Amino acid sequence: MLGEKEINDIDLSVKENNLYQEEFFTDFDLASIRRLTPVKPNGLRDKSRKMVFLGSLNLMTPQGPLPVQAAIDARNLKEAMERYPEAMKHAFGEMQEKIKKLQQEKESKIIVP
């Protein structure tokens, strides 16, 4: 738990040059896409920065839902929808590799008498 000193040391100011308006799109099945549109402090679109698309899904496992997220390189929502499957497959593959690596590291630390 954070103490009062640690909380006071956190910079809680809003970064005015890094504001985004967030929109959420779903097909009510698996696909979820967030569109982050850069905005200026007055709320108007900041055309000097590009939109960001993030895909996410929850895969059900015997241990419960497994969240998978990935950035989608797209210029618009239609492109993001088209690229969503490949981005999610890539993110899931990377997650599997990380899990394998962690398991190998854990196994290598086991000392057998």
The pTM score is 0.79
Tell me whether residue 1 is in a domain: no
* Cα torsion angle, 70, 65, 35, 41, sign: negative
Cα–Cα distance, 36 to 50 (Å, whole number): 9
Cα–Cα distance, 21 to 23 (Å, whole number): 7
- Domain residues for the domain of 75 are 14-107
Total structural domains within the chain: 1
Tell me whether residue 51 is in a domain: yes
Helix count and strand count (H, E) for the chain: 2, 4
**Tens-place pLDDT, residues 14-70:** 999 999 999 999 999 989 999 999 999 999 999 999 999 999 999 888 999 989 999
Tell me whether residue 92 is in a domain: yes
Tell me whether residue 9 is in a domain: no
Tell me whether residue 54 is in a domain: yes
